[in-house]
Structure 1
């Protein structure tokens, strides 16, 4: 037996849902068929990809390593089919939160005007590289330092950091704050795609209480619900205004670089055009670092 694309799709469905039952529903197969296909893949590769020793499925280290490569292979296959059928080749731009900030609309409209033959699809993916490393998108708008191997980046701008507070918090009406003034609070940390870690604070004044969350929506809910405060960039304040939320500038927190990232491999032919337009739209201007 040889490895086929169906084996990759089956593994990716299991990895994404961490459930044979949900994977079977997604693929419109029976649970035994999904389990059998996974076993065949593992036998052909000679490694165990999924740990089924507990009540909850988890990827093994080999499974984690294989996941991104399998996703890239499936995406490349699907794209080749679309091209062969002349269905067009959209340029998929990922982001984990806030996209291009207030420049998002201008970026999308300018692209549509200048490149009407290539749709630009903006996708929010809650992942450190917004789906870029695993092949879900062609390029991504990312914040902070990008350390993922195999990616190239181009810095577009920097965004100042702000504190996110409940609107009725005693500090919410201050003109500015320092990080140390938040040290005695519970800090909401987006451990999936955020740029804030406890290393942002001085060693002698690091917060002792944290609340870990996985996306911007949960971050906002934790703060507006009075469970925590947070640190983010000005783009969040611009893209997510909320009557129960206050954003206050931070005086001692370094700005966050915003970069356009793409894979260091043959990719979408319009990526150079996207880089050029992003520089035009998001380049340094009033109020930007």
Structure 2
């Protein structure tokens, strides 16, 4: 009688095949539990039974070799490992959703936000260089009257930011310093201040109402030393650059901005003069950190935009006729 064939190899293959591989459904289940704070609510969101959702979570934890959710409290809490894994899971799910979105088969524009004055005199060179180098990725320049120029509201992917950000605004953002812009005074063209051909100083402005952009501007009355500080009662408060320029052109106020505004917003009724002793304003290129807890991915072309912006600045600095700046 012939001996039975050996089956160890076949058995071994079968045992290996029983090992679970994490799938997208496991990540979605975990994220639903993390967001809802309970299996009951998460199961309702996913339209599946609680036992099935609990099994899915256990399978994921077995695969990761770690407990991701603490079930000992009335409200489920993520463990330390769970909190670390959440960002990774959210990024992975968002990336898959992004890849499977039919709309993404078309060019994905990179939305560059600014609250005012964009990249100053470098704006056009940046747009032209980008179009020549990355024609497959349109670069859309958007003005958004917000401190983060649309980053926090999701209107932009990357932004040129001058206004100092509050801690809650800066959370989850990354940035690259581009340059420092010199401050300038903006005065009515028919005013005595406009007759000065040289630089003005802060003391020369205190006897005039100051136009302040309270939404996205970089100028506050704290710019003046306490002994020279203008009264807030005389300030002209505006919400954007258009109204700021309008108030100055009408002779209702004077203002303080940067050289970028003088370059991007020439006005027949406004004269810009260098402002001595007022310090420079840093210009940052800012974008969302990746991955984010929300699962929204950043635009993959952001690093290329940073590189192109720095190249444009470097080339401008090499010109003998370039205005003086600080980098």
TM-score by length of 2: 0.62
Unaligned 5+ residue runs, structure 2? 1-44, 46-93, 292-297
Partner residue, 2:102: 84
Q: Which of the two has higher C-alpha Rg?
A: 2
Partner residue, 2:172: 150
The answer to whether residue 184 in structure 2 is matched with residue 159 in structure 1 is no
Partner residue, 2:10: none
Q: CA RMSD in A?
A: 2.0
SS of 1:186's equivalent in the other structure is coil
Q: Which moved more, 1:107-116 or 1:84-93?
A: 84-93
Partner residue, 1:22: none
- Give the one of 239, 263, 269 matched to 2:300: 269
Q: Equivalents in 2 of 1:191, 1:264: separation in Å?
A: 27
How many pairs align? 214
Deviation sequence 1:101-131 (CA, Å, 0-9, x none): 1111110010011001111000000100010
Q: Equivalents in 1 of 2:129, 2:143: separation in Å?
A: 20
SS of 2:218's equivalent in the other structure is coil
Deviation sequence 1:250-279 (CA, Å, 0-9, x none): 111001111100011241111000011111
Give the deviation of 1:200 after TM superposition. Answer: 0.4
The answer to whether residue 215 in structure 2 is matched with residue 192 in structure 1 is yes
Does the 8 Å contact 1:100/1:282 carry over to 2?
A: no
1:63-82 to 2 correspondences below 5 Å: 80=98
Give the deviation of 1:239 after TM superposition. Answer: 0.8
Q: Equivalents in 2 of 1:113, 1:275: separation in Å?
A: 16
Does the 8 Å contact 1:153/1:259 carry over to 2?
A: yes
Does the 8 Å contact 2:163/2:216 carry over to 1?
A: no
Partner residue, 1:128: 147
- Give the one of 263, 266, 281 matched to 1:241: 266
Partner residue, 1:104: 123
Partner residue, 2:205: 182
Unaligned 5+ residue runs, structure 1? 1-43, 45-75
Distance 1:211 1:118, change over 3 A: same
Give the deviation of 1:82 after TM superposition. Answer: 9.2
Runs of 4+ aligned residues of structure 1 deviating over 6 Å after TM superposition are none
Does the 8 Å contact 1:133/1:151 carry over to 2?
A: no
Give the deviation of 1:145 after TM superposition. Answer: 2.6
Distance 1:232 1:271, change over 3 A: same
